[in-house]
Amino acid sequence: MRIKTGSPNLHYTYSSEGVLILFSYGIPVAATLPSGRAVRSSTKYSVTTTKHINKWLQGAGNVDIVDQDFINGLV
């Protein structure tokens, strides 16, 4: 995986399976699957992390809320 920086404490990368994963403060918090399905963690994080997620998923259409373990499994 090659990690790219979106802004301080906000990073994203593609997994070998083609999943685009968003990390905030080193924690995977959202993803876009190869099918185009967007997911975000049901875990409540800080205001800043929530802003990161909302900005990153803006325009993604329907976003499914999934358990944090699902997103952890994508990494």
What is the pLDDT, as a whole number, of residue 13? 84
C-alpha distances out from residue 45 to 3, 17, 27, 52, 65, Å? 21, 26, 10, 10, 14
Please report, in tens digits, the pLDDT of each residue of the chain (75 residues total). 555 555 667 788 888 888 999 998 889 999 999 998 999 999 999 998 998 899 888 888 889 999 999 999 998
pTM reported for the whole predicted model: 0.83
